[in-house]
Amino acid sequence: MSGISHWIVYAVGFAAQVFFAGRTLFQWLDSERRREVTSPAAYWGLSVAGAFLMFIYGVLRDDFSIILGQFITYFIYLWNLDAKGVWGKLSRVLRAVLLLTPFAALAFLLHDAGTFVSNMFRNKEIPLWLVLFGSAGQVIFTLRFVYQWF
């Protein structure tokens, strides 16, 4: 795990899951209160926070499938914040940080392509077949947003 203490890695992953669980709980309670299926802005805000942390967790675990899935869905969550009218209300600095951080992280990961490939695709803890299977799962999971959009 990239030389970082296991408890820090798991704490980041757990915090990401708390945001994802919180968004579901929030949506459920809001839908029950309104007696209709809702997609409140807070759901998408919690999704952004969860994806941000889960991306970091994927980097710390050298798990390409997690990184790929969170990179894709992160921007879908930002798009939904914009659709809810929240994005324009955020400060320019926060919007810049939210937009640029994934690309900065990706540039950091790819600055040494050989190490990236070795860590992500030749990881003895995560066999290649599982990386491919997980990546396919992430792409299929993400397609639900494309379907929802249409």
pLDDT tens by residue, 78-107: 999 999 999 999 999 999 999 999 999 889
- For the stretch 35-54, pLDDT in tens is 998 889 999 999 999 999 99
Hunting for tokens 């379907």 — which residue is that? 147
- Quote the domain boundaries for residue 142: 6-149
1 domain-assigned: no
Q: Is residue 71 one of the residues assigned to a domain?
A: yes
For residue 89, is it within any domain?
yes
Residues 6+ apart with CB under 8 A from 100: none
**What integer pLDDT is reported at residue 3 of this predicted model?**
60
Domain tally, the chain: 1
Residue 101: closest CA among 55, 68, 139, 42 = 55
Please say whether the beta carbons of 12 and 60 come within 8 A: yes
Residue 88 lies in a domain: yes
46, part of any domain: yes
Task: Please report whether residue 40 resides in a domain.
Answer: yes
Distance CA 30, CA 34 (A): 6
28 assigned to some structural domain: yes
